[in-house]
């Protein structure tokens, strides 16, 4: 984290004042820039590293701890620059981060800065010391190597970046099922664990599982569906994951059940067809170009007349993909598309879609539950993974929850059958 320095502390002399401290402070210089950028209605109040404050009362307070916050934004305007500034602690938000993001997003959609306003903003940033080379990229940011996007080697590296963080870390946030996907709150007062079990039941019922049926769980995670389907429905389950941490955990919890957990790429499964196939929030990770082959594999791996259930996140047509922050810090190579495009890809692969159930509101509550648990265990999280990684997750949970709340992201269960 960069140590904040005022103009007086550095001893620099600029045209803003003999000691280097501008009249009204750093925040005073930034105030007219924000007014120009947001048509006189800036959505935030700014507190700068020299102690100065400016902006409308009652607005969320954005804390700039050093000029590096501005430098990061100048070098990468938009989501990624802001994320890097927040993750490193160069920028902070006082109070509840979700409330701050909600307010800023609502107001920033109205912003239509003119070229003159942008030029004025650039001049102020130069005066405040934002010029210079870009700051170092935060250590928590993924640096993917290993070939083309969604190739076998790179896919494994992507999974390891996110899911091999440690089972203990996920155990701090998730409920007892260790289900890291949207729950199903079929009754208003359900706990998260009850809602996750309700989701697992919903999947098993839609697949028509009966004792002795063979189920393939593609992207099995920590084994929540594999174990539930075997224990409650008598299915013989093969779960597949690329994460060594997940595989070890799932094997331990599945001991004594007809469950096999494989550390394998789904493309290498050759012992089908299965009676049913489920893939819970894994299809987002196969990428835009990889999805047709993924859909074809789902069809190949299920018997004729067998059911396939895909639970998958979607993103509106105006902003497909994953988003700059998600793709750099959480799930590199992730691609979300509109629901209709996914349905079309599954049908093109030879699967007949029978039912689609939207679950977006359920994800809002699911993420709220994760976020509440995360915040209540903040000190434990920081002690386990360090403050930078903890801030990545705080931003991820707040920003992701807001995207579902505002309908920019969705999640659906798609039930399909192999026709022949």
pLDDT at position 98? 94
Residue 110 clears pLDDT 70, i.e. is over it: no
Q: Indicate the range of 144-153, 315-324, 349-358 predicted with least confidence.
A: 144-153
Written as one string, the DSSP assignment of 213-276 is: -EEEEET-TTSHHHHHHHHHH--EEEEEES-HHHHHHHHHHTTTSSEEEEES-GGG--S--EEE
What mean pLDDT do residues 226-244 have? 97
Burial of 327 (0-12, 13-18, 19+ CB in 10 A): middle
pLDDT at position 157? 60
C-beta of residue 251 within 8 angstroms of C-beta of residue 190: no
Residue 107 clears pLDDT 80, i.e. is over it: no
pLDDT digits (tens, 9 = 90+) for 331-341: 887 889 999 99
The helix (run of H) or strand (run of E) holding residue 374 is: helix 360-376
85 CB-near residues (< 8 Å, 6+ apart) = 68, 69, 72, 73, 91
Distance CA 276, CA 213 (A): 8
Distance CA 35, CA 163 (A): 42
Residue 23 burial (CB count, 10 A): 9
Instruction: Measure Cα distances from 234 to 127, 209, 301 in Å.
Output: 69, 8, 20
Question: Which has more confidence, 332 or 349?
Answer: 349
Task: Give this prediction's pTM.
Answer: 0.88
What order do you get walking across the sheet with 351-358 strand by strand? 259-263, 236-241, 214-218, 274-280, 302-315, 409-418, 351-358
Distance CA 21, CA 370 (A): 43
Burial of 58 (0-12, 13-18, 19+ CB in 10 A): exposed
- Bridge partner residues of 308 (DSSP): 277, 416
pLDDT at position 2? 36
Strands 274-280 and 45-47: unpaired
What mean pLDDT do residues 389-412 have? 95
What mean pLDDT do residues 76-94 have? 93
pLDDT at position 344? 98
Residue 90 burial (CB count, 10 A): 25
Residue 184 clears pLDDT 90, i.e. is over it: yes
Cis peptide bond prior to 303, omega within 30° of 0: no
Q: Work out the pLDDT band at 4, boundaries 50, 70, 90.
A: very low
pLDDT at position 155? 58
pLDDT at position 154? 58
Question: Which has more confidence, 19 or 110?
Answer: 110
Question: Which has more confidence, 318 or 198?
Answer: 198
Q: What is the CA radius of gyration of the chain?
A: 24
- Mean pLDDT, the chain, rounded, equals 88
What mean pLDDT do residues 2-27 have? 47
Residue 203 clears pLDDT 90, i.e. is over it: yes
Selection from 413, 414, 412 nearest residue 404 by Cα: 412
pLDDT at position 225? 98
Burial of 202 (0-12, 13-18, 19+ CB in 10 A): middle
Distance CA 99, CA 20 (A): 35
Question: Which has more confidence, 73 or 237?
Answer: 237
Residue 194 clears pLDDT 90, i.e. is over it: yes
pLDDT digits (tens, 9 = 90+) for 294-314: 999 999 999 999 999 999 999
pLDDT at position 145? 58
**Over pLDDT 90: what percentage of the chain?**
67
C-beta of residue 222 within 8 angstroms of C-beta of residue 170: yes
What mean pLDDT do residues 70-95 have? 92
pLDDT at position 16? 42
Q: Work out the pLDDT band at 19, boundaries 50, 70, 90.
A: very low
What mean pLDDT do residues 394-414 have? 95
Which domains does the chain carry? 7-127 (no CATH), 152-418 (3.40.50.150)
Cα torsion through 277, 283, 289, 292, rounded to 10: 20
Written as one string, the DSSP assignment of 324-372 is: HHIIIII-TT--B--HHHHHHHHHHTTEEEEEEEE-HHHHHHHHHHHHH
Name the packing angle between helices 192-207 and 360-376 (round to 10°).
140
pLDDT digits (tens, 9 = 90+) for 111-165: 667 788 778 777 888 888 887 888 999 988 887 555 555 566 655 565 665 555 7
Residue 21 clears pLDDT 70, i.e. is over it: no
Residue 345 clears pLDDT 50, i.e. is over it: yes
C-alpha 224 chain-centroid distance: 20
**Over pLDDT 70: what percentage of the chain?**
87
Both structure tokens of 149: 């996007």
């Amino acid at each position: 984290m960069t140590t904040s320095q005022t103009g007086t502390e550095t001893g620099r002399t600029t045209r803003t004042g003999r000691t280097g401290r501008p009249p009204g402070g750093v925040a005073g210089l930034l105030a007219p820039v924000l007014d120009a950028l947001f048509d006189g209605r800036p959505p935030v109040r700014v507190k700068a590293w020299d102690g100065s404050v400016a902006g409308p009362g009652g607005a969320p307070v954005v804390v700039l701890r050093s000029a590096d916050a501005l430098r990061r934004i100048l070098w990468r305007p938009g989501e990624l620059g802001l994320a890097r500034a927040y993750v490193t602690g160069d920028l902070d938000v006082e109070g509840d981060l979700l409330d701050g993001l909600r307010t800023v997003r609502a107001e920033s959609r109205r912003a239509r800065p003119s070229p003159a306003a942008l030029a004025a903003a650039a001049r102020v940033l130069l005066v405040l010391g934002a010029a210079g080379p870009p700051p170092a990229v935060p250590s928590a940011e993924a640096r993917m190597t290993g070939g083309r996007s969604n190739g076998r080697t790179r896919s494994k590296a992507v999974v390891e970046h996110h899911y091999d963080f440690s089972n203990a870390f996920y155990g701090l946030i998730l409920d007892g099922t260790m289900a890291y996907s949207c729950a199903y709150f079929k009754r208003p007062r359900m706990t998260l664990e009850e809602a996750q079990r309700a989701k697992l039941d919903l999947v098993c019922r839609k697949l028509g599982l009966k004792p002795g049926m063979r189920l393939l769980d593609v992207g099995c995670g920590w084994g929540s569906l594999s174990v539930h389907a075997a224990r409650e429905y008598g299915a013989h389950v093969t779960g597949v994951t690329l994460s060594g941490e997940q595989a070890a955990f799932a094997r331990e919890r599945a001991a004594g059940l007809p469950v096999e957990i494989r550390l394998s790429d789904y493309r290498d499964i050759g012992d089908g067809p299965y009676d049913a196939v489920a893939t819970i929030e894994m299809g987002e990770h196969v990428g835009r170009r990889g999805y047709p082959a993924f859909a074809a594999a789902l069809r190949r791996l299920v018997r004729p007349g067998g059911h396939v259930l895909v639970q998958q996140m979607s993103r509106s047509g105006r902003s497909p993909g994953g988003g700059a922050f998600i793709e750099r810090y959480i799930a590199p190579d992730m691609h979300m598309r509109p629901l209709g495009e996914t349905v079309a890809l599954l049908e093109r692969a030879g699967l007949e879609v029978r039912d689609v159930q939207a679950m977006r509101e359920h994800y809002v509550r699911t993420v709220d539950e994760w976020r509440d648990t995360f915040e209540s265990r903040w000190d434990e999280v920081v002690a386990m993974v360090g403050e930078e990684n903890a801030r990545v997750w705080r931003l991820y949970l707040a920003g992701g929850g807001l995207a579902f709340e505002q309908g920019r992201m969705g999640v659906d269960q798609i039930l399909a059958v192999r026709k022949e």
